[in-house]
């Protein structure tokens, strides 16, 4: 399954420089390392918790949570998706109907009698489980304000999962409120999906400031695992310029992997499947597999 480091395969679907023109490079001209297939693991855990975070809406947080999760599961990792957005899009995206839920992540964080095992649901993808959410969660933002240790409620709730999973991906809502702060307090790493359009960078300074505050006050070990450009359009210079700006501002925190814009992602959401199952050979599926391999190669995920 390991692919050669040609521009076409290493940045799936995104033209860069192939071996015939010299060494392969990424969108901003950095040499492209080869990301090998992750080695198989003997057992499972301890899990790394990664929060998918950007207060801007519609940038690919949920798409990345689902598809990175599915790609890691394909590579043998045990993955738990935590839907932490009252919109419930991550739950729907893996085939769970939010209105039919007896228990959701809301009960997990607000009700002391509810345990993680009560709310975890399997998905159609092997090794991929989900803690679903629905609109109930919208009340938690206000209700949490009065709780003791209100920022670390999710962290405590997820503790029993650390030994059973290799990766826990938390899909945040588009805000920097108390729910997102809970995700950042629980997390070991943050992944920032960034849409390749002109105003994308505007909110990132505020996001980084929030991450730094959480790091200072609540979670000193929190790291930014990477910035992931999404909805990259290889036909326009514009997308490339946005990624270039991200590189100038954030250096190698910018991942090599770039997710191209394709209608296969909304199509897969409608089918309630990860793209790796809906269109396994599509370049969108290859891109998320590459993201999984890059994060393992960078030592972010074991
Ligand atoms: N690479 C892509 N190419 C084309 N469409 C995409 C891509 N990634 C995501 N989309 C689509 O864009 C829309 C927003 O994506 P997504 O729901 O993942 O963003 P989000 O950041 O989770 O949004 P929100 O902030 O509302 O939670 C969805 O319809 C999704 O299918
Ligand atoms: Mg979302």
The percent of residues in the chain predicted with pLDDT above 90, rounded, is 85
The three-state secondary structure class of 86 is coil
Residue 31 lies in a domain: no
Residue 34 lies in a domain: no
Residue 5 lies in a domain: no
On the question of pLDDT at 73 being above 60, the answer is: yes
Ligand 1: residue of 13, 54, 63, 93 to mutate (most ligand atoms within 8 A of CB) is: 63
The pLDDT of 110-121, averaged and rounded, is 96
pLDDT at 4: 37
Domain of residue 209 covers 43-297
Atom of ligand 1 nearest to the CA of 85: 27
Atom of ligand 1 nearest to the CA of 57: 25
283 lines ligand 1 (CB under 6 A): no
Ligand 1: residue of 57, 58, 68, 235 to mutate (most ligand atoms within 8 A of CB) is: 58
Tens-place pLDDT, residues 267-302: 999 999 999 999 999 999 999 999 999 999 999 999
Residue 105 lies in a domain: yes
Contact (CB, 8 A) for 180 and 172 = yes
Mean residue pLDDT of the chain comes to: 92
The pLDDT of 89-97, averaged and rounded, is 96
Whose alpha carbon is nearest atom 8 of ligand 1?
A: 60
Tens-place pLDDT, residues 5-49: 333 334 565 655 555 667 899 999 999 998 999 998 888 989 999
How far does the centroid of ligand 2 lie from the alpha carbon of residue 86, in Å? 9
Helix, strand, coil in percent for the chain, rounding step 5: 45, 15, 40
On the question of pLDDT at 199 being above 90, the answer is: no
Q: Look up residue 43 and give its two tokens.
A: 């057992």
Residue 157 lies in a domain: yes
Whose alpha carbon is nearest atom 9 of ligand 1?
A: 60
pLDDT at 16: 57
On the question of pLDDT at 254 being above 50, the answer is: yes
The three-state secondary structure class of 247 is helix
Q: How many domains does the chain have?
A: 1
Would you place residue 175 in the very low, low, confident or very high pLDDT band (cuts 50, 70, 90)? very high
CATH number of the domain encompassing residue 234: 3.40.50.300
Q: Relative to the alpha carbon of 68, which ligand is closest?
A: 1
pLDDT at 41: 87
Contact (CB, 8 A) for 79 and 69 = yes
User: What is the number of helices (H) and of strands (E) in the chain?
Assistant: 13, 7
pLDDT at 6: 35
On the question of pLDDT at 60 being above 50, the answer is: yes
174 lines ligand 1 (CB under 6 A): yes
Residue 35 lies in a domain: no
Q: Look up residue 152 and give its two tokens.
A: 């670390």
Q: Relative to the alpha carbon of 60, which ligand is closest?
A: 1
72 lines ligand 1 (CB under 6 A): no
Contact (CB, 8 A) for 206 and 174 = no
How far apart, in whole angstroms, are the C-alpha atoms of residue 119 and residue 142?
Answer: 22
Residue 152 lies in a domain: yes
pLDDT at 100: 84
Atom of ligand 1 nearest to the CA of 89: 17
Atom of ligand 1 nearest to the CA of 174: 25
pLDDT at 11: 58
């Amino acid at each position: 399954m390991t692919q050669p480091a040609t521009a076409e395969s290493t940045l799936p679907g995104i033209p860069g420089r192939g071996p015939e023109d010299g060494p392969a490079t990424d969108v901003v001209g950095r040499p492209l390392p080869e990301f090998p297939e992750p080695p198989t693991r003997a057992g499972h855990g301890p899990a790394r918790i990664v929060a998918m975070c950007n207060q801007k809406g519609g940038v690919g947080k949920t798409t990345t949570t689902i598809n990175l999760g599915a790609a890691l599961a394909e590579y043998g990792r045990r993955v738990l998706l935590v839907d932490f957005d009252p919109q419930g899009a991550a739950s729907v995206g893996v085939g769970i109907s939010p209105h039919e839920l007896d228990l959701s992540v809301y009960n997990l964080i607000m009700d002391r009698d509810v345990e993680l095992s009560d709310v975890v649901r399997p998905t159609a993808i092997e090794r991929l489980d989900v803690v679903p959410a629905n609109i109930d969660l919208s009340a938690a933002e206000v209700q949490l304000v009065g709780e003791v240790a209100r920022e670390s409620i999710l962290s405590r709730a997820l503790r029993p999962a650390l030994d059973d999973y290799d990766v826990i991906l938390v899909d945040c809502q588009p805000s920097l409120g108390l729910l997102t702060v809970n995700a950042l307090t629980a997390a070991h790493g943050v992944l920032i999906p960034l849409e390749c359009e002109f105003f994308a960078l505007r909110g990132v300074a505020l996001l980084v400031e929030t991450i730094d505050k959480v790091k200072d006050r609540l979670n000193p070990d929190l790291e930014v695992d990477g910035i992931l450009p999404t909805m990259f359009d290889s036909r326009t210079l514009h997308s490339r310029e946005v990624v270039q700006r991200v590189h100038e501002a954030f250096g190698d925190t910018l991942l090599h992997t770039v997710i191209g814009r394709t209608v296969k992602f909304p199509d897969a959401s409608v089918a309630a499947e990860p793209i790796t199952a809906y269109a396994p050979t599509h370049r969108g599926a290859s891109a998320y597999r590459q993201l999984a391999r890059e994060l393992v190669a960078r030592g972010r995920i074991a």
